Amino acid sequence: MSRDYFLDVADYNLWASGIAISWLNQLTNQQWNQVITSSFDSVKQTTLHLVSAEKIWLDYWQQVPNPVFLSTQFEGTKEDLIQIWMQTSAALKEFVQVYPPENYQQSVRFSWRGVEWQMAFWQTFAHFINHATYHRGQLVTLLRQVGFTNLSSTDLATYFRMRQPLGPTLSECL
């Protein structure tokens, strides 16, 4: 895998997260907190899980000592969480820009459910992107259930089509 691939996927993540964030900025507090049967019981809890995972993977990759899963200690507002998400997504792209391609095969150590694991960086990065995409998809379903319908595509193919020279504009894709 090339640096260009990792950069493209990091750009995609930043783009898709930005769209999801724009949706969340339009929600009322009632919609944000409404209890819904799902993997996580609200838009808030799903977003908190998504942001927590993004932040902890970045911490693992940067070898931050004793990283803490954000959701175990977060007590902020929706705006606070969105700010953390924007900062983390931007930091992820910056990290990928400087991460040496010769390290793509190197092991990354992480903890999951109290057990220490390790996988190659490229595997953890692929997992991270897949995980974020999965939970953004859940957000779409949850948002519809709380009455929010001003949605647009965050699909990877949509992103790549938008980036093609002389391709469709963002408004044509949405």
Residues making up the binding site for a divalent metal cation: 49, 131, 135
Binding-site residues, in ranges, read 49, 131, 135
- Counting Cα atoms < 13 Å in the Cβ hemisphere of 101 gives 7
Closest CA relative to residue 78, chosen from 130, 53, 42, 54: 42
DSSP letters along the chain, please? --HHHHHHHHHHHHHHHHHHHHHHTT--HHHHH---SSSSSSHHHHHHHHHHHHHHHHHHHTT-SS---GGGT----HHHHHHHHHHHHHHHHHHHHHS-GGGTTSEEEEEETTEEEEEEHHHHHHHHHHHHHHHHHHHHHHHHHTT--------HHHHHHHHSTT---HHHH-
